[in-house]
């Protein structure tokens, strides 16, 4: 595998389910991101991890819970989601000299298309 | 809060036509990136422009950064169906996280 991979690619879940999204980067980067992409909205940053520590949490509802066990893996745990949470969830990684900066190139995975019924 | 406005929002053209999409802001950015996102995939970086007035070419794509580093344009010459996708601009500066525009959705018909 190369680049950034995400699994599953598609997920349909009920509002009472618990599921997890997985992201893996094979680039040796030191920062990883979760974004939400909804129709007609800019990419919304959800979480940033730098060197396995969360450095950004953009007022995301607690029904989304991130986990970064090491620099190559990032998870997004989902619990009791709402239909408006249906979106494409994108993972990205970047390499910065001292953590993430806005000039760092972000490499995106293919995304997980989530549908909440 | 830095905002990036992209126009047009949608563009549907025939193969062989030329087009320009725009990315505008009232804020100054230290650099600006253009991404292309194909259906079912994540965004892929096309180019980064850093210097005001800078012009970069990538085959049939020409990117320009405004002199004041507040705006950018992407011009495609002789568009092909393979150019179909969502074109996103992202500005760096201020926050350590880039600001993304909403994108221009381009469809090139054969």
Mean local confidence (pLDDT), A33-51? 88
Q: Which one of A21, A38, A43, A89 would you mutate to disrupt binding with B, by most B Cβ within 10 Å of its Cβ?
A: A43
Cα of A17 to nearest chain B Cα, Å: 24
Q: Give the count of beta carbons closer than 10 Å to the beta carbon of residue B20.
A: 14
The residue of chain B nearest to residue A10, with distances taken between CA atoms, is B40
Question: Going along chain B, which residue ranges are E strands?
Answer: 5-7, 10-14, 19-24, 31-37, 44-49, 55-58, 61-65, 71-76, 85-93, 95-100, 104-109
Mean local confidence (pLDDT), B67-72? 95
Is the per-residue pLDDT at B97 higher than 80? no
Q: Rounded mean pLDDT of chain B?
A: 93
CB contact under 8 A, A90 and B42: yes
Is the per-residue pLDDT at B88 higher than 90? yes
The residue of chain A nearest to residue B101, with distances taken between CA atoms, is A42
Quote the pLDDT of residue A1: 60
Contacts with A64 (C-beta within 8 Å, 6 or more apart), sequence order: A46, A76, A77, A78, A85
Cβ B24 vs Cβ B71: under 8 Å: yes
> Does A98 contact chain B (CB < 8 Å)?
no
Query: What token pair was written down for B82?
Result: 């393979």
SS3 annotation, B38-61 = CCCCCCEEEEEECCCCCEEEECCE
Query: What token pair was written down for B90?
Result: 């992202």
**Cα–Cα nearest to A93, from A63, A51, A42, A64:** A51
CB contact under 8 A, B98 and A4: no
Please, which residues 26-65 of chain A have a Cβ atom closer than 8 Å to chain B? 40-43, 45, 48, 56
CB contact under 8 A, A105 and B48: yes
């Amino acid at each position: 595998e190369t680049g950034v991979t995400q699994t599953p690619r598609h997920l349909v879940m009920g509002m009472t389910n618990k599921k997890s999204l997985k992201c893996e980067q094979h680039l040796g980067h030191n920062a990883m991101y979760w974004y939400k992409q909804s129709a007609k909205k800019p990419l919304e940053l959800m979480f940033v991890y730098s060197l396995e520590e969360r450095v950004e949490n953009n007022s995301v509802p607690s029904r989304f819970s991130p986990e970064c066990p090491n620099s190559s893996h990032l998870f997004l745990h989902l619990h009791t989601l709402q239909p408006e949470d249906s979106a494409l969830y994108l993972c990205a990684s970047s390499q910065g000299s001292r953590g993430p900066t806005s000039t760092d190139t972000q490499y995106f995975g293919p995304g997980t298309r989530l549908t909440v019924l | 809060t830095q905002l990036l406005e992209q126009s047009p929002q949608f563009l549907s053209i025939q193969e062989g036509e030329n087009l320009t999409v725009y990315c505008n802001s009232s804020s100054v950015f230290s650099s600006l990136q253009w991404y292309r996102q194909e259906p079912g995939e994540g965004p892929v970086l096309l180019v980064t422009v850093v210097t005001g007035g800078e012009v970069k070419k990538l085959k049939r794509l020409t990117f320009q950064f405004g002199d004041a580093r507040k705006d950018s344009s992407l011009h495609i010459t002789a568009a092909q169906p393979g150019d179909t996708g969502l074109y996103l601009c992202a500005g760096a500066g201020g926050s350590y996280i880039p600001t993304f525009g909403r994108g221009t959705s381009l469809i090139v018909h054969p």
